[in-house]
Amino acid sequence: YVGRLEDSQNVGKLVKHLAALPKTAKLTETHPTSYRPWGGYTSVLNGERFQVKRLFVTPGKRLSLQKHHHRSEHWIVVRGTAEVTIGDRTIPLRENESVYIPQGEVHRLANPGKILLELIEVQTGSYLGEDDIIRIEDEFGRG
């Protein structure tokens, strides 16, 4: 929005107007890509009990050590090398290799390589919201 400061309280009305018009409705939708301190993800497909994302992890970065109460995850490496921790074991994954993370299992994903790590993540379960992440350890200070 570019306009006069005194008109800024009308931005909400403008968004509602854009959402109501077929030609501009897409402009008001949530962007499919979210960025995180470790890289980010793009939402590819959402269903009632599944979700598909493209994860990208910057070289040298890792996600929080975490678990989920309501979903399991399948990771397939598309590009780069992944280091996957599941419970008390850590395994390397290369392109075209995959791993299954059971619901409730403590896990972590890291990129030990020198190029961007790209994965396809398939989540399945009764609830797939981002607030189902229980962080056990996080180097970015997120709780």
Whether residues 19 and 87 fall in one domain = no
CATH number of the domain to which 113 belongs: 2.60.120.10
pLDDT of residue 46: 94
Whether residues 37 and 23 fall in one domain = no
pLDDT of residue 105: 98
Give one DSSP letter per residue of 49-110, joined into a string: SEEEEEEEE-TT-BPPEEE-SSEEEEEEEEES-EEEEETTEEEEE-TT-EEEE-TT--EEEE
Whether residues 45 and 12 fall in one domain = no
pLDDT of residue 4: 86
In a structure prediction context, what are the per-residue pLDDT tens digits for the chain, which is 143 residues long? 688 888 888 888 888 888 899 998 887 877 899 999 999 999 999 999 999 999 999 999 999 999 999 999 999 999 999 999 999 999 999 999 999 999 999 999 999 999 999 999 999 999 999 999 999 999 988 77
pLDDT of residue 27: 79
Please tell me whether the overall predicted TM-score, pTM, comes out greater than 0.75 for this model: yes
Whether residues 15 and 73 fall in one domain = no
Its domain, for residue 109, covers 31-137
Whether residues 64 and 108 fall in one domain = yes
- Residue 105 domain-assigned (yes or no): yes
pLDDT of residue 15: 85
- Residue 143 domain-assigned (yes or no): no
- Residue 142 domain-assigned (yes or no): no
